[in-house]
Structure 1
Amino acid sequence: MRIVAIGGGTGLSTLLRGLKNFSVDLTAVVTVTDEGGSSGILREELSVPPPGDIRNNLVALASDENILGQVFNYRFKNGSLNGHTVGNIILAALTKITGSFTEAIAKVSDILAVKGRVLPVSNDMGRLVAEFEDGAIVKGETHIVAYGKETGFAIKNVTLESPLKLNPAVKQAVEEADIIVLGPGSLYTSIIANFLVEGLSQVVAQSSAVKIYISNIMTQPGETTGYTLRKHIEEVEKFAGCTMDYIIHSYPPKDDKVLEKYREKGSEPVTIDVFHDRIIFGHFSSVVLDEDYRIRHDPLLTAQAVVNIALRKVNVK
């Protein structure tokens, strides 16, 4: 069974951690518009595609996350390397050595013995441009989220500053896929950002694969404040250029203290305002400790929901 999962960093890597436990041929397609933190510094100073989201997904698919995975995810806390992760630096170095971001990813994949493939949606880096409801045009992922938080205005549309060509390996993977999964992850900056690359929406729309969208559990301040489940689905389908066959939506964990912390930061559980046979509701989330207590999709429960759909709908040759 060939599964292509499309997204960004944290959300997609969570799904991959679950899917790698099943007997599937797995390809992760990752956005190249990240500009935050270490990735932002490396892309600006070294002119390499942002490595952070790629690193997250490579580590998620590593055969042994406990040793090499920890090394690649290690983040320096002080000195001139403050904020950088070891994996980001290695990917940047290999990109310079080989002259190819894709080749750098392939070499790291060998080092980590990843169970599947991780592909950048394009071999070049891109910059997001958002138009807000007040007419403001904001460039750059971090600036877009910051503007949304500061003003409270919603995103009206997103584009790329310059056109990006689709990675040919991504095109082939999508054409051969039995299942295409979108998300989980930030709606605009992790999922939709991929569909701004020339050709991806067309190849996904033309694919006969079963298409699944894993929706957000919580709204994201600066990006999806006030968005309901219906709004999430509408935006994904608009940019993907096709209707999703299934939507997986998780109820938030029943943890009032954690939910209250989210509310204090302007985040709420996504309101369910649409019911349909294609929407699969369930408890696919958990609270994890990542510097603070955070609500995340549970890797195994979410992956199992995807595989259950696949087993019912896909006739693997």
Structure 2
Amino acid sequence: MKVVAVGGGTGLSTLLRGLKNFDCNLTAVVTITDEGGSSGILREELNVPPPGDIRNNLVALASSENILSAVLNYRFENGSLAGHTVGNILLAALTKMTGSFTEAISKVSDILAIKGKVLPVSLKMARLLAIFEDGEEICGETNIVEYCKSSRKRIRKLTLENPVEINPEVEHAIVESDAIIFGPGSLYTSIIANFVVDGFSNAVKKSKALKIYVSNIMTQPGETEGYTLKDHVYEIERYLGTNLNYIIHSLPPESNVLERYAQKSSYPVKIDIDDTRLVVGHFSRVLYETEHRIRHDSFAVANAIFNLLTSKIENIDKAQSEVTM
């Protein structure tokens, strides 16, 4: 079974840690518009594509997340390298040495013996451009996120400052896939940021794959403040230009962590969809990452996805069998 997972950093890497345990041909498609932190600095100073999200997902797909994986994720805390991770620097160095970001990713993939493949959505660098409901135009991922938080305005249209074309390898993977999974992750800056690359939505429409959206558990301050599940799905389908087959939504765990989220204007995404596409369950847990956070349970979400895929395949096989009888 050929499975393509589309997203950005933390959300996609969480999903991949679960998916790699199942028998499938897995391809992760990662956005190339990250401008924050270490990725933003390396992008600006070395003129290389942002490596951070790629690194996260390479480590997530590593056959064994051992000391080498930990080293690649190690972030320097002081000195001239403060804020940079070893993996980001390695990817930037390999890009300069080989002259190819794709080749750099391939070499790190071999080092980690990853289960699957990680591909940038485009072979060219790009910057996001958001047009807000007040008409304001903001360029750059970091600037867009900050404007969302400060203005409390919704994004009316997301596009790229200058158009870039889809990575041909990504296009082939999408068209030939059996399932395409979107999310979880920041709705606009991690997920839809892939859709606005030229050729992406057309590739999805060409594909006969099942299209599955793994929704966010909580709203994101600024970017999706006040968004319900229907709002999330509407935006995904609007930019894709096609309908989703399934929507997987996780209920948040009962925890006092929810109170801390509320202090930051982040609340559980309200379920306001009632149709056969919706799969709701407890696919989340509380993890400690400098502070307690609600995250998807990697294996639980992946298991829910493969239960859907297996059921669909069994129904197709049954129908074909009845036709030939």
TM-score tier, shorter chain, comes to: over 0.9
| Separation in 2, partners of 1:314, 1:198 | 31
Q: Which amino acid aligns with 2:264?
A: K
| Separation in 2, partners of 1:186, 1:123 | 22
1:35 counterpart = 2:40: no
SS in structure 2 at match of 1:79: coil
Show structure 1 runs of 4+ deviating over 6 A: none
Q: Within 5 Å, which residues of 2 pair with 1:262-281?
A: 262-281=261-280
Structure 1, unaligned runs of 5 or more? none
- C-alpha distance after superposition, 1:152-180 (max 9, x if no partner): 11111111000011101101111111111
Structure 1 residue 237, shift from structure 2 partner: 0.4
1:260 counterpart = 2:259: yes
| Separation in 2, partners of 1:314, 1:55 | 33
| Separation in 2, partners of 1:35, 1:313 | 39
Q: Which amino acid aligns with 1:299?
A: S
Structure 1 residue 22, shift from structure 2 partner: 0.8
- Name the counterpart of 2:122: 122
Q: Within 5 Å, which residues of 2 pair with 1:295-310?
A: 295-310=294-309
SS in structure 1 at match of 2:75: coil
Q: Which amino acid aligns with 2:247?
A: I
- Name the counterpart of 2:293: 294
Structure 1 residue 314, shift from structure 2 partner: 3.1
Q: Within 5 Å, which residues of 2 pair with 1:158-307?
A: 158-255=158-255, 257-307=256-306
Structure 1 residue 55, shift from structure 2 partner: 0.3
1:105 counterpart = 2:101: no
- Name the counterpart of 2:93: 93
Structure 2, unaligned runs of 5 or more? 318-325
1:26 counterpart = 2:26: yes
| Separation in 1, partners of 2:263, 2:163 | 38
- C-alpha distance after superposition, 1:78-111 (max 9, x if no partner): 0000000000000000000111111100000000
| Separation in 2, partners of 1:154, 1:167 | 29
Q: Which amino acid aligns with 1:195?
A: F
Is the 1:132–1:154 Cα contact (8 Å) retained in structure 2? yes
Q: Which amino acid aligns with 1:186?
A: S
| Separation in 1, partners of 2:12, 2:74 | 19
SS in structure 2 at match of 1:263: helix
SS in structure 2 at match of 1:65: coil
| Separation in 2, partners of 1:289, 1:235 | 31
Q: Which amino acid aligns with 2:74?
A: Y
Q: Within 5 Å, which residues of 2 pair with 1:64-75?
A: 64-75=64-75
Structure 1 residue 66, shift from structure 2 partner: 2.3
Give me the TM-score of the superposition, normalised by structure 2. Answer: 0.96
Give me the TM-score of the superposition, normalised by structure 1. Answer: 0.98
| Separation in 2, partners of 1:172, 1:219 | 33
Q: Which amino acid aligns with 2:57?
A: N
- Name the counterpart of 2:62: 62
Is the 1:145–1:221 Cα contact (8 Å) retained in structure 2? no
| Separation in 1, partners of 2:232, 2:292 | 24
| Separation in 1, partners of 2:242, 2:296 | 25
- Name the counterpart of 1:50: 50
| Separation in 1, partners of 2:247, 2:282 | 14
Q: Which amino acid aligns with 2:307?
A: N
Identity %: 64
| Separation in 2, partners of 1:8, 1:93 | 22
Q: Within 5 Å, which residues of 2 pair with 1:124-139?
A: 124-139=124-139
